């Protein structure tokens, strides 16, 4: 895991939100999970995939 890439309740209400910017090209993997036994929906958006 990359430092500072976790978030809990950073979005609206109790939703998480994370912004990640990189200066290195490569393959990045995303993992999402719920706290305790809670469930919900997940949404992933990528704003810019410019070549570095």
Q: Are 20 and 47 in contact (CB under 8 A)?
A: no
- The CA radius of gyration of the chain, in Å to the nearest whole number, is 13
Residue 49 belongs to some domain of the structure: no
Q: Are 40 and 13 in contact (CB under 8 A)?
A: no
Per residue in 1-51, pLDDT (tens digit) is 666 666 666 677 777 777 777 888 888 888 877 778 877 777 878 777 676
Residue 50 belongs to some domain of the structure: no
Global pTM?
Answer: 0.52
Residues 6+ apart with CB under 8 A from 3: none
Residue 27 belongs to some domain of the structure: yes
CA distances from 16 to 10, 24, 28, 29, 45 (A): 5, 25, 19, 17, 13
Name the residue range of residue 26's domain.
1-44
Number of domains the chain is built from: 1
Residue 29 belongs to some domain of the structure: yes
């Amino acid at each position: 895991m990359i430092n500072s890439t976790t978030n809990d309740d950073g979005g609206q209400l109790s939703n998480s939100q994370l912004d990640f910017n990189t200066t290195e090209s490569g393959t990045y993997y995303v993992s999402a999970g719920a706290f305790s036994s809670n469930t919900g929906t997940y949404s992933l958006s990528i704003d810019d995939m410019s070549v570095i």
